[in-house]
Amino acid sequence: MVHKIMIFSSVHPYDDSRIFHKQAVSLVKAGYQVELHAVADFAEKEEQGIRIVGVKRANKRWKRLWSGWTLYRRAIKSGADLFHFHDPELLPWGVLLAWRTGCPVIYDSHEDLPKQLHTKLWIPKLLRSPLSFLVHRVEKWLAKQLAAVITATESIRDQFESARQVTVIKNYPLPISVTPEKADEKNRILYVGGISYLRGYREMIRMMDFIPAELEAELHLIGPLQHIAPEDRDPEKLKQKNVYLHGRIPFEEVQSWLGKGKVGLVCLHPIENYRESLPIKMFEYMAAGIPLVATDFPLWKEIVEKSNCGFVVNPLEPKEIAEQVTRLLTDEALRVQLGENGRRAHLEVYNWKAEEKKLLSLYSQLLASNKQPQSLSQG
**Does some domain include residue 180?**
no
C-alpha to C-alpha distance for 311 and 307, rounded to whole angstroms: 11
What integer pLDDT is reported at residue 375 of this predicted model?
Answer: 39
pLDDT value at position 363? 98
Instruction: Say if 32 falls within a structural domain.
Output: yes
Domain that holds residue 29: 4-171+352-378
Judgement on whether residues 337 and 366 belong to the same structural domain of the protein: no
Amino acid at 276: E
Same domain, 219 and 196: yes
Q: Would you mind telling me the total number of residues written for the chain in this entry?
A: 379
Same domain, 234 and 320: yes
**What is the 3-class SS of the chain, one letter each residue?**
CCCEEEEEEEEEECCCHHHHHHHHHHHHHCCCEEEEEEECCCCEEEECCEEEEEECCCCCCCHHHHHHHHHHHHHHHHCCCEEEECCHHHHHHHHHHHHHHCCCEEEEECCCHHHHHHHCCCCCHHHHHHHHHHHHHHHHHHHHCCCEEEECCHHHHHHHCCCCCEEECCCCCCCCCCCCCCCCCCCEEEEECCEECCCCHHHHHHHHHHCCHHHCCEEEEECCEEECCHHHCCHHHHHHCCEEEEECCCHHHHHHHHCCCCEEEECCCCCHHHHCCCCHHHHHHHHCCCCEEEECCHHHHHHHHHHCCEEEECCCCHHHHHHHHHHHHHCHHHHHHHHHHHHHHHHHCCCHHHHHHHHHHHHHHHHHHCCCCHHHHHC
Same domain, 210 and 158: no
pLDDT value at residue 371: 64
Pair (244, 270) in one structural domain = yes
Closest CA to 40 of 28, 23, 54: 54
> What pLDDT shows up at residue 179?
60
Same domain, 363 and 276: no
121, part of any domain = yes
Q: What per-residue confidence (pLDDT) applies to 122?
A: 64
Q: Which residues of 314-339 are buried (b: 16+ CB within 10 A; e: fewer)?
A: ebeebebbbbbbbebbeeeeebeebb
| Domain shared by 231 and 343, yes or no | yes
Q: What's the confidence (pLDDT) of residue 182? A: 47
- What region does 79 belong to: left with phi over 0, alpha with psi -120 to 50, or beta? left
Number of domains making up the chain: 2
Give the pTM.
Answer: 0.87
**Which pLDDT score is estimated for 379?**
41
**Are 215 and 325 in the same domain?**
yes
Please indicate, yes or no, if residue 176 is contained in any of the structural domains.
no
* Residue 287's CATH number: 3.40.50.2000
pLDDT for 30 equals 97
Is 61 found in the same domain as 207?
Answer: no
| pLDDT digit string, tens, across residues 231-245 | 888 888 899 999 999
182 within a domain of the structure (yes/no)? no
Extract the residue ranges of the chain whose pLDDT is less than 70: 59-65, 114, 116-123, 178-184, 371-379
